[in-house]
Structure 1
């Protein structure tokens, strides 16, 4: 029997995010290698499932568990059913010919695709129910035992073995498992039909037996699925219910996009950019924001695994590359005409950010060398005129179709590209240099740290000297050949603030006037990626001005969660590091609520769904559902709740939540300890009675700091002995010759 009567409070992630309907034909749970790309509204689990990736040259798992039911001689139609979607499973119910059929569909963490089915006779007479179970994935198959069919194939240079299991009569074939049951009036029975997918027949058999022997496989699965959230995710709630719900949705987003195949180039846990629409791989563009987010999961192997995957596949010239199990992608020197050199952003800065939260001395040693090699590669390949301002190489960057590239061609076509040095990529490079310096400093290598600190200062100075237009009061991209401004005001002109490359000078603060102006970047669903004043502006994705295009990758006005994530960083750092009054904590807090509301469907607060990009006028989302191309929970931790990671034994807590009456953040794993932060304004309606009104910081369950109002607190962290360091003093470091000079 199923767990329909199990107390729902056991599964809070399902309670918080449950919704009615097919939810764009998605299935919430995913395995280490297997996931659902499209689930059809049919009996069984039909549709397109994938093994590790979804490339066109790969072999999909089509209709992995196909179920046909007959009541007597009458087939059950599969078109009408009530469907309820949960993060852990999908529930489907239909009643025909007096037979109620309830299905619970899920994928286990060890890659078993399950359909737990319950039949109930609601008619006024006994019925015979016949069930045929097959799998479209088993092209060449053979019987295994009484109740199984086995088969397999190769894809992505990997061997795939599958076993389908369901109750079967002796006359079942090697294609279809048949069973039959008599049900009296009011009688119920249940069965499990499942397809196990693994790299060997023995592993597939082992996983299958583990789930077939459970009295209630669904209940066991839901408990294991919920345990991932309980074990990994800090707990958070606040006075804005939409933000609270978004917090838990973002952790679902991380779990949904997690893979751990332990194969080929992905030998450690990795978070994909998405599992729909061709994004099922490690992408260097989104990896930094993903790392910023998942570093707050308690299991350090998740963020450390991301770092190791990118370091282990780092190219010989030093750039990081997109990852599949069987290949990598990236710019190869000397290979002219490479149509897709890959993306290169601020992975080194994200590496260091993750290691601030979960330190690991040995990993830091390897990361410092990897980050150094990356910085040297960027200087060589992307800084052709040696001014520390980077040219990303045209369209091959996150912001593919940005109007600044077409500025010098009167915006006539989105493929008219000018070689530009851009403020976003230069700010990323600055952040990488600072992070590399911090890594060497953490290893006690002061000479290397000073060298990269010096480079970072020169990079920041170059950004302010060459990209700041005193006339317009904004950072612009510049033409690489002569330094002329591409006077197209894009939101990425504020990215230098996000990474601390701009000094505290009133001259620069006015740039945020454009961000907050409804005539420029502040659309009804902010923020526009390009000012309304640009001739190519369109708030609607897939348009260049009024001309419709065949791609949503337009950054000429649509709202992108990616950009919003970095703009929150810019506003937050402006509030903390600059003496200005234009951007306030109230504005930032209100925007975080609006940002959360946008990442819902049709402004429905009960249906969170993050897409690639949004129409800034209507809030309509476009592109891949459950798209992990941004950060949000990281911004909640660091800016709204105020926890600022640091290299030393002090931690600063400085909440910027002006607009919330209360919040509670508990169980944050930080440098081997657990931090909790509770804030409540001094009002008569108390949210909590276990702490005093005001701001309370706890470390390992003990109050470490308190203030009666929202303010900045400095907390001394307890000492924890680090791992012994490996001697790297004699190791050659990429770029060492430059350091000597």
Structure 2
């Protein structure tokens, strides 16, 4: 992982001197680090708190270490600096148990003494036991303060380490952070001292960090193919999950979860709160995280967000956004559907039974808050709550006014996306009732069919072959082709009469822009490829506006829809899916350079330019697309379906997939092709628990009953 995702210098676009750090703790991470030895920059704990410094090594010669050379690895950051007076090499990381660790080597090249000393935040630290420091960071806007213990391998740093001309010194500093009053200071001291007083060399400590960091990835499926772009994006997507994984064990967040991002649209002022942050449970992105994380071998990470939301519900039991202290609002989401997909892989019936009342609440609350008396379509009253603010359909009935913030020009809509989510959630609830033996399964299935019927009959326009949002009172169509118009195909609710819909993806005047897929069709009068609204910014230069930019969020869903449509129609769109998947993959690399991994929130749909600066952004899925459509694996209740799209690969291998109590490996190789994988055989093959159970000379569809896979050893099924 380290070598394959190495990125050289990695910084914030809006703050070029702010270095990024890949490693994160369960609660501690760096928004960015300054190019100085130690941990100076902006550091966050559980949520955004903007601690300006954990510790830093100062000297009496210089306070600038630029230009310096930096090397970004997922598990640590290396910085080197050389001048005529001194040289410095530093490797630093944040461990999973929330320790900020710096391994430094200094050499004095001057003819005078070089003096080094440890600096901490203001006067907030005191000496403990003569060789360690401890202190508290007051956090005014949360219920917790942050306690810190700092340990050094050489106590001379506390008063001033003196290096004679030509002399070198290597030392280690570690700061362990925890919740004041909950985490014992003695434990924090022990954690920090484990790095500085263990007797290990700096090389050994860094090597240990790399091994421990890699161990998480060893429990993820492995994918290798003839396409370096897909392979590297696959690795980077697993890094995204690990980078955004958190386990606060505090307040409303007592179980693990994935953040939507580690950066933030907030002030960078020390201990400031203002603005929007992504480091919390955001219920809009939870199902997107689950779609990928369900394939991880440890189910606790994907189940954690569900448990958090169920134990800290909003009004009526609604799943909401959460901080440790606050139950916030709710976004539209497909969490029940994602939970059912998670069940299909890991088969945790106990969780389904336990959370079934919470899942039922999602359906009843959706109807109470967003339903209406005339049909089963869902009304959206706040355009921000589907996560797609400023989609032009809300202003269609007022001819796209210059000022979209004028509430008189805004129309509530029966939304395609919210209603499709409602359909999928209701259908999933029917399935989960069956699993739990609940008698309401049939009624939820009937409700799902009624929702589907209303979507197909009322939101579909035969003449333009597309699904549209509707006026909340008159049911007039808002003739704006939003990206969510493809959601009915993603939900697999369409058949032959709706075949014309998918063609809009191929039209260069609509959704086939240079950077597909725009959030609204390019022929919309309010289309803006770089965001903004009708020629001016409404949320700043980097603001979220869904009137034209390309978003990984909807790319993942739209590609899923495209793949399902290709399978439904005899694989006639496989080539376009392969092309579009590669274009989506390129979004994961700055300037399309595979040596610069980095995904942000949204992009210019004409050029691919990143429009935001939230690096390592995490509100989409990708791993599931590769497993479900490139390798072709789908796990159903009673069967395993293989149905890959031809993504133009000469070979691939998907390994270490644990699902339905089995371990799967799927391989493919064109005859006569040389593959970099030694044991790869020709054709399309499925191995279960190490045994070959299916083989065909070409990519093909096959449905295999689970009972046969678990009951037949060594036999090849045809």
Q: TM-score, normalised by structure 2?
A: 0.90
Structure 1's unaligned 5+ residue stretches are 1-12, 331-341, 722-741
Partners of 1:65 and 1:115 within 8 A in 2: no
Q: CA deviation digits over 1:637-658, x for unaligned, max 9?
A: 111111102112x211211133
Partner of 2:332: 344
Among candidates 239, 243, 246, match of residue 252 of structure 1: 239
Q: Matched residue of 1:83: which SS?
A: strand
1:718-737 equivalences in 2 (<5 Å):
none
Q: Distance in 2 between matches of 1:167 and 1:208?
A: 10
Among candidates 595, 619, 641, match of residue 584 of structure 2: 595
Q: CA deviation digits over 1:140-161, x for unaligned, max 9?
A: 3221122222111443212421
Q: Matched residue of 1:436: which SS?
A: helix
Partners of 1:236 and 1:663 within 8 A in 2: yes
Q: CA deviation at 1:98?
A: 4.2
Structure 1 residue 41 corresponds to structure 2 residue 32: no
Partners of 2:289 and 2:302 within 8 A in 1: no
Among candidates 194, 200, 210, match of residue 174 of structure 2: 194
Q: Distance in 1 between matches of 2:64 and 2:447?
A: 68
Q: Distance in 1 between matches of 2:573 and 2:10?
A: 41
Q: CA deviation digits over 1:279-300, x for unaligned, max 9?
A: 1111111111111111111111
Partner of 1:707: 696
Partner of 1:147: 131
Q: CA deviation digits over 1:289-323, x for unaligned, max 9?
A: 11111111111111111221121122241321101
Partners of 2:356 and 2:432 within 8 A in 1: yes
Structure 1 residue 161 corresponds to structure 2 residue 147: yes
Q: CA deviation at 1:586?
A: 1.5
Q: CA deviation digits over 1:90-112, x for unaligned, max 9?
A: 10001124432100011011111
Among candidates 449, 456, 474, match of residue 466 of structure 2: 474
Partner of 2:447: 455
1:160-559 equivalences in 2 (<5 Å):
160-167=146-153, 177-182=158-163, 185=166, 188-199=168-179, 200=183, 201-214=185-198, 215=200, 216-230=204-218, 232-277=219-264, 278-330=277-329, 342-395=330-383, 396-412=385-401, 413-415=403-405, 416-445=409-438, 447-502=439-494, 504-505=495-496, 507-541=497-531, 543-551=532-540, 552-559=543-550
Q: CA deviation digits over 1:573-608, x for unaligned, max 9?
A: 2123x3367x51111112111110122111212212
Partners of 2:108 and 2:114 within 8 A in 1: no
Partners of 1:394 and 1:417 within 8 A in 2: no
Q: Residue 385 and residue 553 in structure 1: after superposition, are their counterparts in 2 closer, same or farther (change >3 A)?
A: farther
Q: Matched residue of 2:146: which SS?
A: strand
Among candidates 118, 134, 149, match of residue 119 of structure 2: 134
Q: CA deviation digits over 1:348-404, x for unaligned, max 9?
A: 111111111112121010222211111011111110235111112222221011000
Partners of 1:118 and 1:191 within 8 A in 2: yes
Q: CA deviation at 1:169?
A: 5.1
Q: CA deviation digits over 1:211-251, x for unaligned, max 9?
A: 22340322211111111111x21111111101110111111
Structure 1 residue 108 corresponds to structure 2 residue 95: yes
Q: Matched residue of 1:501: which SS?
A: coil
Q: CA deviation digits over 1:147-194, x for unaligned, max 9?
A: 222111443212421112225657x8xxxx233244574x54311122
Q: CA deviation at 1:672?
A: 2.7
Structure 1 residue 26 corresponds to structure 2 residue 23: no
Partners of 1:394 and 1:405 within 8 A in 2: no
Q: Matched residue of 1:16: which SS?
A: coil
Q: Distance in 1 between matches of 2:647 and 2:260?
A: 32
- RMSD of Structure 2 on Structure 1 (CA): 2.0
Q: CA deviation digits over 1:612-656, x for unaligned, max 9?
A: 1000111111221111010111111111111102112x2112111
Partner of 2:715: none
Partners of 1:394 and 1:420 within 8 A in 2: no
Structure 1 residue 579 corresponds to structure 2 residue 569: yes
Q: Distance in 2 between matches of 1:22 and 1:511?
A: 41
Q: Distance in 2 between matches of 1:254 and 1:691?
A: 29
Q: Residue 657 and residue 720 in structure 1: after superposition, are their counterparts in 2 closer, same or farther (change >3 A)?
A: closer
Structure 1 residue 63 corresponds to structure 2 residue 53: yes
Partner of 1:119: 106
Moved more, 385-394 or 478-487: 385-394
Q: Distance in 2 between matches of 1:410 and 1:247?
A: 43
Partner of 1:7: none
Structure 2's unaligned 5+ residue stretches are 13-18, 265-276, 711-718
Q: Distance in 1 between matches of 2:359 and 2:316?
A: 12
Partner of 2:662: 673
Q: Matched residue of 1:669: which SS?
A: strand
Q: Distance in 1 between matches of 2:7 and 2:544?
A: 29
Q: Distance in 2 between matches of 1:179 and 1:191?
A: 13
Q: Distance in 2 between matches of 1:61 and 1:701?
A: 50
Q: Residue 352 and residue 386 in structure 1: after superposition, are their counterparts in 2 closer, same or farther (change >3 A)?
A: farther
Q: Distance in 1 between matches of 2:486 and 2:155?
A: 67
Q: CA deviation at 1:570?
A: 0.8
Q: TM-score, normalised by structure 1?
A: 0.88
Q: Matched residue of 1:572: which SS?
A: helix
Q: CA deviation at 1:327?
A: 0.9
Q: CA deviation at 1:565?
A: 0.6
Q: Residue 66 and residue 481 in structure 1: after superposition, are their counterparts in 2 closer, same or farther (change >3 A)?
A: same
Partner of 2:716: none
Q: CA deviation digits over 1:662-686, x for unaligned, max 9?
A: 1111101212321111111123434
Partner of 1:52: 46
Q: Distance in 2 between matches of 1:308 and 1:284?
A: 12
Among candidates 552, 557, 567, match of residue 566 of structure 1: 557
Partners of 2:152 and 2:196 within 8 A in 1: no
Q: Distance in 2 between matches of 1:510 and 1:42?
A: 58
Among candidates 681, 693, 705, match of residue 682 of structure 2: 693
Q: Matched residue of 1:237: which SS?
A: strand
Q: CA deviation at 1:79?
A: 2.4
Q: Matched residue of 2:29: which SS?
A: strand
Q: Distance in 1 between matches of 2:191 and 2:704?
A: 47
Q: CA deviation at 1:76?
A: 5.9
Partners of 1:590 and 1:659 within 8 A in 2: no
